[in-house]
Amino acid sequence: MTADERIQEISVADQEAGPYGITAGPDGALWLTFVHSGRIARLTLEGELKEYALDSPACRPSVIAPGPDGALWFTRSQDHRIGRITTDGAAESFRVPTPDSGPFGITAGPDGAMWFTQMNTSRVGRITGDGEITEFALPVQGAFPAAITAGPDGALWFALNQANAIGRITTDGEVCLHALPTPGAAPVGIASDGEALWFVEIAAGQIGRITTDGGITEFPLPDRTARPHAIVAAGTGDCWFTEWGANRIGHITTNGEITEYDLPSPSSEPHGITLGPDSALWAALETGGVARVRCSARTARG
């Protein structure tokens, strides 16, 4: 199968809306953030799109993730709130206690709460289903924590973009940092494959893998200027990532075998990526679309 046959692009908005985050919802649809227009969108596998305007067009909804309560939770990086939207479109938001916190990454934790990063204040936050927020300060200032994910060890793992490290926090708030071998790598996206954590180094053009005991392996991309941004695991040792600077979707295995696929539209700015309910990969394109990559875990390498 050629790359062109594998990839389908679907227009969902214009460039002024800016599709950015994407996740699979509990209702069998894809949910997106429109970062520039302050909207959340629901896209069915049949292509039906519905948009929900938030209470602030300038709130910059960024990363979105399903919660344990059957709703979708998302960060609002401009007005420093955590948003929640039900599958029928009822939205609410909760103010982060620390001012100007810049929440960005968000994920469901193993404790029934949502966990999120605060880019501007070097903190990790925890929010319960009723909106109660607890904040945990990181041991380094200016760290710019980015994406966060639940690890296979019952802790939360996150990328520290400006501290050049991967962080781990337990549900009790105990923090440990693991420095990256490559200076100035600037990690952003992170995902768990059920055994280890995978992350992208946007400034170094590399994909990284870290075991739960802190062992790090880095895999250089063929194009070190590709600026990988987000990553998702389709299975153990089977990860997919966006190349924001190179207009591609990439695939990597545990042994570092990398396959890349050019997107049909030029300069489409792929950001968030998720495994869809149809077992395809879906990526948000900030210029106004989504890309669907038809694949299987074991045939995607050919």
Please identify every residue annotated as catalytic: 271
Q: Annotation-wise, does 229 bind a ligand? A: yes
User: Three-state secondary structure along 195-263?
Assistant: CCEEEEECCCCEEEEECCCCCEEEEECCCCCCCEEEEEEEECCEEEEEECCCCEEEEEECCCCEEEEEC
Q: Is residue 178 annotated as involved in ligand binding?
A: no
Q: Give the pair of three-digit tokens for residue 151.
A: 């690890």
Sign of the dihedral defined by the CA atoms of residues 94, 169, 243, 141, in that order: positive
Based on C-alpha coordinates, what's the Rg of the chain? 17
In the DSSP assignment, the letter for residue 297 is: T
Residue 269 annotated in ligand binding: yes
What span, in angstroms and rounded, lies between the C-alpha atoms of 265 and 276? Answer: 21
DSSP conformation letters of 131-161? --EEEEE-SSTT--EEEEEE-TTSSEEEEET
**Residue 187 amino acid letter:** P
- 32 close to 12: Cβ distance less than 8 angstroms: yes
Binding site for substrate: what residues are annotated?
229
Binding site for Mg(2+): what residues are annotated?
269, 286
Binding site: what residues are annotated?
229, 269, 286
